[in-house]
Amino acid sequence: MGNRTIGMWLYNNGGGDKISKRIIKKLKERDVETLDNINLRHAIAKNGNIIFDGVKLNKELDLFFSYNAGEQTQYQMYLYQALNRAIPMINSYDSFALTEDKFHTSFVLRNHGVQTADYNLCHRDDGHELKKIIKKWDKMVYKPTDGWGGVGLTKIENEANLDMLMPFLNQMDLRYFYVEKFIDYDNTDFRVDIVDGKFVSCYGRKASGTDWRTNVTSGGSVFMREANDEIVSIAKKACKATGVDIGGVDIIYDRKKEEYVVLEVNGIPAFATPEQEKIGLNFNNKKIELIVDMIDRKTNNKKGK
């Protein structure tokens, strides 16, 4: 084994398998070895070690690169957290866990001067507060704080809507309600990728037909879209505030307030798929380059095995 070794777990679908190979090759050119497919689901923790296939990850790795959104289980998250107490991880457990929660993310962004949709979080017993809120806001969005892909988001258009929804929400045995003001926007967004504080790419997504959600999983489609300086600077600021080394920032334009609003920061933004590369999303090389640079830097001046 070389001087430096990292562990990696990257998604395989949508061209991810090829991306892994390119990253591993580039790292090798810099004398960094990669143990690939370290799925913590199959690791065991005992007596001060986290062991995968006979390898003590906490002792033998200089860094762990975790990049697999779809297959993340609670067990993996638990070990992710523990492993990050021993070695550096990309993204760090803390920043990744933060971006997995929409309320915590909005809270942190607002405290760092990044504009988000106005939001309210209230205890489940204070559901009546939502009545006052919708009067003030006119329309709002109910969001599960840990969701993705637009799943579970519910647009509430008026008080009658809310009255209908409340019995369902009450049945779900939630601990709290998280709602956002519905932003008047043109049903398109900007997805801006940042790696290591540097701008990688921007593309747009457009909601399909009557849907107000831009997510591809909700029928939205991807299109080429240029960023501007303001959008890039907002995205960088959002990544800095949440502490992610790699982040995909979702931004929409509020037509009423005439300003950009950050909806969320994604801790595992996908590389362009082969189909997306065909329509011109050609940022994979740059993204790989910046990730390899960052891994190289973060593992330098370490241990020196």
Ligand X SMILES: Nc1ncnc2c1ncn2[C@@H]1O[C@H](COP(=O)(O)OP(=O)(O)O)[C@@H](O)[C@H]1O
Residue ranges in contact with ligand X by CB under 6 A = 117, 141, 147-150, 153, 180, 182-183, 189, 207, 212-215, 250, 263-264
Amino acid in position 254: D
Q: How far is the CB of 246 from ligand X (least distance, A)?
A: 17
Q: Token match 């090829």: residue?
A: 18
Residue 141 binds: one of ligand X, Mg ion, none (C-beta under 5 to 8 A by kind): ligand X
Q: Closest approach of Cβ 188 to ligand X, in Å?
A: 8
C-beta of 45 vs 97, nearer to ligand X = 97
H or E element in which residue 94 lies: helix 93-99
Kindly tell me which of 105 and 299 has the beta carbon lying closer to ligand X: 105
| Candidates 86-94, 112-120, 218-226, 246-254; binding stretch for Mg ion (CB under 5 A) | 246-254
Residue type, 114: V
Nearest to 263 by CA among 39, 125, 99, 152: 99
What's the min distance (Å) between Cβ of 278 and ligand X?
23
Provide the token pair at 264. Answer: 């969320």
Minimum CB distance to ligand X, residue 109 (Å): 12
Residue 100 is a binding residue for Mg ion (CB under 5 A): no
At its nearest, how many Å lie between ligand X and the CB of residue 180? 4
Out of Mg ion, ligand X, none, what residue 280 binds, judged by CB under 5 to 8 A for its kind, is none
Residue from the set 118, 180, 250, 296 that interacts with Mg ion by CB under 5 A:
250
Q: Prior bond to 158 cis, omega within 30?
A: no
Q: How many angstroms separate the first and last alpha carbons of the chain?
A: 10
Binding at 274: pick from Mg ion, ligand X, none (beta carbon under 5-8 Å per type): none
- What's CA 108's distance to the chain center, in Å? 15
- Shortest separation between residue 187's beta carbon and ligand X, angstroms: 7
The answer to whether residues 273 and 299 touch, using CB atoms and an 8 Å cutoff, is no
Pairing between strand 198-206 and 221-224? antiparallel
Which 3 state secondary structure label does DSSP give 21?
helix
Residue closer to ligand X, measured from CB, 61 or 183: 183
d(C-alpha 45, C-alpha 220), whole Å: 41
Residue closer to ligand X (CB basis): 281 or 292: 281
Judge whether 117 and 263 are in contact, CB under 8 Å: yes
Nearer to ligand X, 32 or 109 (CB): 109
How many angstroms separate the CA atoms of 239 and 260, rounded? Answer: 16
Task: Give min distance, CB of 288 to Mg ion, in A.
Answer: 23
Binding site for Mg ion (CB under 5 A): 250
